Amino acid sequence: MTFYEMALDSDQIGGHFEDIDMPRLIDHQTKFVSSLVGGPASFSDERIEAVHRNLNISHADFDEMAELFAEALSMHGMEDGHIKIALNAIESKRSIIVARDAA
Protein backbone atom coordinates (compact mmCIF):
# COMPACT_ATOMS: atom_id res chain seq x y z
CA MET A 1 0.00 0.00 0.00
CA THR A 2 1.33 3.46 -0.84
CA PHE A 3 1.35 6.47 1.45
CA TYR A 4 -1.35 8.08 -0.69
CA GLU A 5 -3.61 5.04 -0.50
CA MET A 6 -3.16 5.07 3.26
CA ALA A 7 -3.88 8.81 3.43
CA LEU A 8 -7.02 8.49 1.31
CA ASP A 9 -8.21 5.65 3.58
CA SER A 10 -7.61 7.69 6.73
CA ASP A 11 -10.67 9.00 8.54
CA GLN A 12 -8.47 11.78 9.95
CA ILE A 13 -6.89 13.16 6.76
CA GLY A 14 -8.62 11.48 3.83
CA GLY A 15 -10.86 14.50 3.28
CA HIS A 16 -7.86 16.70 2.54
CA PHE A 17 -7.18 14.58 -0.54
CA GLU A 18 -10.66 14.59 -2.09
CA ASP A 19 -10.95 16.27 -5.49
CA ILE A 20 -7.17 16.66 -5.70
CA ASP A 21 -5.09 16.12 -8.82
CA MET A 22 -3.19 13.22 -7.24
CA PRO A 23 -0.41 12.88 -9.86
CA ARG A 24 0.34 16.60 -9.45
CA LEU A 25 0.22 16.34 -5.65
CA ILE A 26 2.50 13.30 -5.64
CA ASP A 27 4.99 15.16 -7.84
CA HIS A 28 4.97 18.20 -5.54
CA GLN A 29 5.20 16.17 -2.34
CA THR A 30 8.03 14.06 -3.73
CA LYS A 31 9.95 17.24 -4.48
CA PHE A 32 9.03 18.68 -1.06
CA VAL A 33 10.28 15.64 0.86
CA SER A 34 13.37 15.51 -1.34
CA SER A 35 14.10 19.15 -0.54
CA LEU A 36 13.77 18.47 3.20
CA VAL A 37 16.39 15.74 3.15
CA GLY A 38 18.90 17.57 0.96
CA GLY A 39 17.61 16.75 -2.50
CA PRO A 40 17.73 19.04 -5.51
CA ALA A 41 14.25 20.56 -5.21
CA SER A 42 13.80 23.69 -3.13
CA PHE A 43 10.73 25.22 -1.50
CA SER A 44 10.81 28.37 0.61
CA ASP A 45 8.98 28.42 3.92
CA GLU A 46 6.81 31.19 2.48
CA ARG A 47 5.76 28.96 -0.42
CA ILE A 48 5.06 25.98 1.86
CA GLU A 49 2.97 28.16 4.17
CA ALA A 50 1.04 29.71 1.27
CA VAL A 51 0.18 26.31 -0.22
CA HIS A 52 -1.14 25.01 3.12
CA ARG A 53 -2.72 28.23 4.42
CA ASN A 54 -6.34 27.56 3.46
CA LEU A 55 -6.34 23.80 4.11
CA ASN A 56 -7.12 24.12 7.84
CA ILE A 57 -4.66 21.38 8.75
CA SER A 58 -4.77 20.59 12.46
CA HIS A 59 -2.03 19.19 14.67
CA ALA A 60 -3.95 15.89 14.70
CA ASP A 61 -3.96 15.91 10.87
CA PHE A 62 -0.23 16.60 10.81
CA ASP A 63 0.43 13.81 13.33
CA GLU A 64 -1.65 11.34 11.29
CA MET A 65 0.18 12.28 8.10
CA ALA A 66 3.56 11.80 9.79
CA GLU A 67 2.51 8.45 11.26
CA LEU A 68 1.24 7.16 7.91
CA PHE A 69 4.33 8.46 6.13
CA ALA A 70 6.61 6.64 8.59
CA GLU A 71 4.55 3.47 8.22
CA ALA A 72 4.72 3.64 4.42
CA LEU A 73 8.48 4.23 4.45
CA SER A 74 8.96 1.27 6.79
CA MET A 75 6.72 -0.96 4.66
CA HIS A 76 8.90 -0.14 1.66
CA GLY A 77 12.13 -1.04 3.44
CA MET A 78 13.55 2.27 4.61
CA GLU A 79 15.82 1.93 7.63
CA ASP A 80 14.56 3.34 10.94
CA GLY A 81 17.38 5.88 11.15
CA HIS A 82 16.53 7.29 7.74
CA ILE A 83 12.82 7.39 8.61
CA LYS A 84 13.68 9.38 11.72
CA ILE A 85 15.69 11.87 9.65
CA ALA A 86 12.77 12.33 7.23
CA LEU A 87 10.26 12.73 10.07
CA ASN A 88 12.45 15.26 11.86
CA ALA A 89 12.71 17.28 8.65
CA ILE A 90 8.94 17.21 8.19
CA GLU A 91 8.38 18.08 11.86
CA SER A 92 10.55 21.17 11.38
CA LYS A 93 7.82 22.51 9.05
CA ARG A 94 4.87 21.89 11.40
CA SER A 95 4.51 25.56 12.35
CA ILE A 96 4.07 26.63 8.73
CA ILE A 97 1.82 23.74 7.68
CA VAL A 98 -0.62 23.55 10.60
CA ALA A 99 -3.28 26.27 10.56
CA ARG A 100 -2.72 28.77 13.35
CA ASP A 101 -6.32 28.52 14.51
CA ALA A 102 -6.71 24.75 13.98
CA ALA A 103 -7.18 22.49 16.99
Confidence of residue 32 (pLDDT cuts 50, 70, 90): confident
Confidence of residue 96 (pLDDT cuts 50, 70, 90): very high
> Which pLDDT value is given to residue 102?
58
* DSSP conformation class of 54: G
User: What amino acid occupies position 75?
Assistant: M
Name which of 6-10, 17-21, 85-89 the model is least confident about: 17-21
Which whole-number Å values give the CA distances from 103 to 42, 54, 60, 61, 97, in the listed order?
29, 14, 8, 10, 13
pTM summary value: 0.87
Closest CA to 16 of 64, 49, 50: 64
Q: Is the pLDDT of residue 36 over 60?
A: yes
Q: Is residue 52 annotated as involved in ligand binding?
A: yes
CA–CA separation, 103 and 98 (whole Å): 9
Q: Is residue 16 annotated as involved in ligand binding?
A: no
* Mean pLDDT to the nearest integer, 14-31: 90
Burial 11-35 (b: 16+ CB within 10 A, else e): ebbeebeeeeeeeeeeeeeeebbeb
> Which pLDDT value is given to residue 91?
96
> Which pLDDT value is given to residue 89?
92
Query: 3: number of CA atoms within 13 Å, CB side?
Result: 18
Q: Is the pLDDT of residue 103 over 60?
A: no
